[in-house]
A and B are shown apart, each in its own frame.
Chain A
Amino acid sequence: MNVLVVLSAILFILMVLIGGRKGLRSFISLFLNFAVLILTVFFLLDPAMNPIILILIACAIISCINLFYINEVNSKTKTAFLSTVITIVFLVLLIYIMTDKLMIQGFSEEQVEELSTLFSLYIGLDFVKIAAAMIIVSTIGAITDVAISITSPMQEIFDQNPGITKKDLFISGIRIGRDILGSNTNTLFFAFFGGYLALLLWVKDMEYSIGEIANSKIFTSELLIILSAGIGIAMIIPIASWINSYYLVKKREQKALQKQEE
């Protein structure tokens, strides 16, 4: 039996057992997201396509799956979706500039030695843009998670205090965001640590000096991924809080206006 099949089966059983219908939807969402990713890779193969545009579209579809399919379409998920898209656009520009400056695109010296004997590396794709796309995809799951974790309790607060001002609502959104910031960044930091374990051992075994580590392509690119994840998670907090408070208060004002006209 294949390891991946058995692990998927265990995950499926656990999710359905504990989560019921929502667990089933969560499990299916993993497959849908995998399909979107593979499809994105398929389109990335075409040199005429712009990887940044492609990845923005992919991220929008992924956040639709994470927000609208796992949860449902309502004002909480809609504002979370809008905040995610805006954050991703900002973040992708920032990451693209950083990737270009750092020159960390493609493969590292250590990898190329082996790869160049097996593969043609002149494949006509824009690796700087692809690197930026890769970094943004690594944080998309966390960004949508923070977005929904902010807009959903904000709605509760709004319902409980119907007269709350836009500013107070925004501040409570920020406060909620701050509370989840630490555990969310930790989730990604540890995921990356676990993934980089082989690399870290390599660096220790090869006795890289601090100077070599601080300048090596592979190490700075992993660091950039970690830092971008933190920046992305922090950035969505004010964006989601602002959009949601703006939307909720605007809706209330419109309702009041309608009543007046009646």
Chain B
Amino acid sequence: MNLKNITYKQVIFYISLAVLLIGSLLFVNNNYSFYDRPIAKVMEAHLEESNDVVDAYGNEDRLFTQSIEAEVKNGAEKNRSIHLINEYSASGAFDQAYKEGDELFVWIDADTGKGGELTGTIQDVKRDKHILPIVWIFIFILLLIGKRQGFFSIISLILNAAILSYALDIYVENSNIGLLIICGVTVVLFTITSLLLINGFNEKTYAAIIATLLGTFISFFITYAVLWLTGESGLRYEEIDFLSRPYKPVLLAGLLIGSLGAVMDVAITMSSSVFEMYENNHAIDNKTLKKSGLHIGKDIMGTMTNILFFAYISGSIPMLLLFLKNASLWGFTLSLNLSLELARALAGGIGIVLAIPIGLYISIFFVNRKRGRV
């Protein structure tokens, strides 16, 4: 890189990034006093015993018992040592071995007298100091490779997460407003902010915004009509984890938001290419625009639907394995764990395909308006 090309603004930007990086890393590694829950740092871990187990279905695993000497890092018992017992399995479906340096949230059970050793139970792992470096790797890779566009992707992620969180806060506090209405409004906000961030203020973006909203809502109503007409047969709601609310609005609102990104991507691809063709050749007629636009749409529909498909289905893999290893039948396992994910993927696919003609015609409409003005 040519050093002369670096502007004053960029220097400020990178310095503040470096300060943030170092500051946040220092913070997560020393933030014990901010937690109410006692934290203990593992100083020594010894394997006490291990034995093989075979469950009712013939699955072989190995169980281990660790005895751990740790040091309390916060609260009233700070700096005292604590004795912990950890039982874990080789497969680690919900447990794991601990080693020197790991930090754990613990319950302090008993005090064996003055200066003596505390005993406690392990509650959870302190993960913040491990997730933060990954956040920074993400930021640096996106900035390094994507430069300005990478920066906007990060901003768009943060902004959209904030909008979603705020919208859910409104819903939790006023449950009389339906989740669907709130998410519908959120979808409009998401579309406008993301497309403006990616593409800036211009007619290409306006065409893409209208096409995205039409595509998303039409595909949503198609899915809604299908659910209503079929009486939701074949959908299994038992396996939605973390359900604190009626399941149906949660599923529908998830459908609405989930397909939005893909529909946006298709809409922006369609409008960019239609406008690009027009800019290159102002005399181009609508028929050619239609034909070439449709050609581009055909090229992207397959890969786009596959993106959604994998994003939705993959999360079920551990659960599928658990069911099947516990001698559940394949048909039962698949319908119970995948029906909602497949419905989401199919609904998203419908949105993607619909966005192709919608995006195409709206962009052509905008191009013609521009032509009229010239």
Interface residues of A (CB under 8 A from B): 1-8, 10-11, 14-15, 18-20, 22-23, 25-26, 29-30, 33-34, 37-38, 41, 44-45, 47, 62, 66, 70-71, 98, 101-112, 115-116, 118-128, 130-131, 133-135, 137-142, 144-145, 148, 174, 177-179, 181-195, 197-202, 204-206, 211, 214-218, 220, 223-227, 229-231, 234-235, 237-238
Binds A, one of B77-85, B223-231, B365-373: B223-231
With a cutoff of 8 Å between Cβ atoms, the chain B residues found around residue A205 in the complex are 172, 244-245
A residues less than 8 Å from B326 (CB atoms): 118-120, 123
Q: Are A7 and B145 closer than 8 Å at their CB atoms?
A: no
Beyond A14-B354, A174-B145, whether A214 also contacts B312 by CB under 8 A is no
Residue numbers in B under 8 Å from A47 (CB-CB)? 59-60
Closest Cβ–Cβ distance, residue A205 to chain B (whole Å): 4
Q: Once the chains bind, are B153 and A182 in contact (CB under 8 Å)?
A: yes
Q: Which of B168, B334, B348 is close to A204, meaning CB atoms less than 8 Å apart? A: B168
**A4-B343, A107-B93, A122-B53 in contact; A211/B317 too (CB < 8 A)?**
no
Contact flag A106-B255 (CB < 8 Å), given A189-B160, A205-B172, A211-B34: no
Q: Which residues of A contact B315 (CB under 8 A)?
A: 134, 138, 195, 225
CB pair B240–A195 under 8 Å, yes or no, is: no
On whether the beta carbons of A234 and B307 are closer than 8 Å, the reply is no
With contacts A15-B353, A190-B258 taken as known, whether A3 is within 8 angstroms of B145 at the C-beta atoms is no
CB nearest neighbor in A for B320: A41
Q: Are A202 and B242 in contact (CB under 8 A)?
A: yes
Give the total number of A-B pairs whose CB atoms are below 8 A apart: 412
A residues less than 8 Å from B130 (CB atoms): 98, 101-102, 220
Q: For chain B, residues 238 to 287, give those with C-beta under 8 angstroms from any C-beta of chain A.
A: 240-245, 250, 253-262, 264-265, 268-269
A185–B307 Cα gap in the complex (Å)? 11
Q: Which of B185-230 contact A (CB under 8 A)?
A: 190, 194, 197-198, 222-223, 226-227, 229-230
Q: Label chain A's interface by main secondary structure.
A: helix
Give A5 to B342 CA distance when docked, in angstroms.
10
In the bound complex, do residue B344 and residue A19 qualify as a contact, i.e. CB atoms below 8 Å apart? no
The answer to whether A30 touches B305, judged by C-beta atoms less than 8 angstroms apart, is: yes
Given contacts A181-B146, A224-B131, contact A30 B153 (CB under 8 A): no
- Of A122, A133, A135, A181, chain B has the most CB atoms within 10 Å of the CB of A122
Docked complex Cα distance between A235 and B190 (Å)? 26
Inter-chain CA distance A237–B96, complex, in Å, is 36
Which residues does chain A contribute within 8 Å of B160, judged by CB atoms?
189-190, 193
- CB pair A26 B305 closer than 8 Å: yes
Whether A124 and B61, one on each chain, are in contact in the complex, defined by CB atoms closer than 8 angstroms, is yes
